[in-house]
Structure 1
Amino acid sequence: MAKKQHKKAPNELANNRKARHDYSILETYEAGIALTGTEIKSVRAGKINLKDGFARVRNNELWLENVHISEYKQGNQFNHDPLRNRKLLLHKKEITKLAGVAQDKGITIVPLKVYLKHGFAKVLIGVGKGKRQYDKRETLKRKEQDREMARALKNRY
């Protein structure tokens, strides 16, 4: 059986599907990323991996950590470090709100997707509460039931 290809929106560069599986997302925020020249070229080429990424508040600034942006092939000795921490650009009120929420136990700030908006790279970050194993099974069961109902309705009409 062939694997189903997930369609991306035309401006979507990367999607973290595992985040919605491992966390129940409570709130989302759109943030800009401070990138260097070779980083933005790699991001536009879709060479970004959000799988293990998370955000952390340090010194009243929000930092995106553990996100891999591959080196730009045509870059020279000024190429970037693929795993460096990148600053996220949000309003100060939003950062203080996120700092307060992130201090609670079991709450994590995770990147959900990266996309282009008016030529700028943006990250959709979510405040997530970790799911337990039984929560994940329940979510999968509910999705399967919804699919069954949709199939039944489709065949009916």
Structure 2
Amino acid sequence: MARPKPATFDKQKTVADNRRAKFDYSIEDTLEAGLALSGTEVKALRAGEASIRESYAEVRDGQVWLVNANIPEYTHGNRLNHEPRRPRKLLLHGREIERLFGAVERKGMTLIPLSIYFNRTGRAKVELALAKGKQTVDKRHAIKERDWKRDKARLMRDKG
């Protein structure tokens, strides 16, 4: 029998966040994926160096790849250091890959990484989101909503 998935992801140490993603995209669904890394990439991640700002994921040949994520070279690495922007394989179940492929092909959605983190067991994981791009009008509406919430909280705090 399969182990039930936790409701929230078990993030112990967050290495990289894509904070702009929630502003640029409307997030439909999130899932956790493992990350296939080489030796010095793990050391660079443990040092807290990574950027996923311009990265995305794509389904190619029945596998999911993280493209354009920057994990800089490890400072104490030697000639066997890794390439910083190489495509990295994401580890997912076959059913999940099929579901993501169907959503990307039929609904015109994109796969974007929200964060890279280490879980409780010390494994590098990626929080992957199935998202749809927002129009400029939607972004303006989100800014208005955020400003109104801030002003409302300020008024409530002042009036008591």
Aligned residue for 2:34, secondary structure, equals strand
CA shift, 1:10, in A, is 5.8
- Structure 2 Cα separation of the partners of residues 94 and 135 of structure 1: 29
The Cα RMSD (Å) is 1.3
Deviations 1:98-135 (A, max 9, x none): 00001135411000011110201111010110001111
The residue type paired with residue 104 of structure 2 is A
- Structure 2 Cα separation of the partners of residues 104 and 131 of structure 1: 18
Aligned twin of 1:74: 76
CA shift, 1:155, in A, is 2.3
Aligned twin of 1:139: 142
- Structure 2 Cα separation of the partners of residues 96 and 109 of structure 1: 13
Please list every run of at least 4 consecutive aligned residues from structure 1 whose deviation after the TM superposition is greater than 4 angstroms: none
Q: Is 1:56–2:34 an aligned residue pair?
A: no
TM-score computed with the length of structure 1 as normaliser? 0.91
Identical aligned pairs, as a percentage?
A: 44
Matching of residues 140-155 of structure 1 within 5 Å? 140-155=143-158
The residue type paired with residue 28 of structure 2 is L
Relative to structure 1, the CA distance from residue 89 to residue 65 in structure 2 (aligned partners, 3 Å threshold; closer, same or farther) is: same
Aligned twin of 2:7: none
Aligned twin of 1:84: 86
Task: Check the 8 A contact 1:106/1:130 in 2, yes or no.
Answer: no
Aligned residue for 1:143, secondary structure, equals helix
Aligned twin of 1:124: 127
Aligned pair partner of 2:34 in 8, 32, 35: 32
The residue type paired with residue 144 of structure 2 is K
**Which structure is higher in strand share?**
1
Aligned residue for 1:49, secondary structure, equals coil
Aligned twin of 1:3: none
- Structure 2 Cα separation of the partners of residues 10 and 152 of structure 1: 36
Task: Check the 8 A contact 2:12/2:118 in 1, yes or no.
Answer: no
Aligned twin of 2:6: none
Aligned residue for 2:20, secondary structure, equals helix
- Structure 1 Cα separation of the partners of residues 145 and 91 of structure 2: 36
- Is there any run of 5+ residues in structure 2 with no aligned partner, and where? 1-10
- Structure 2 Cα separation of the partners of residues 13 and 89 of structure 1: 18
Task: Check the 8 A contact 1:113/1:123 in 2, yes or no.
Answer: yes
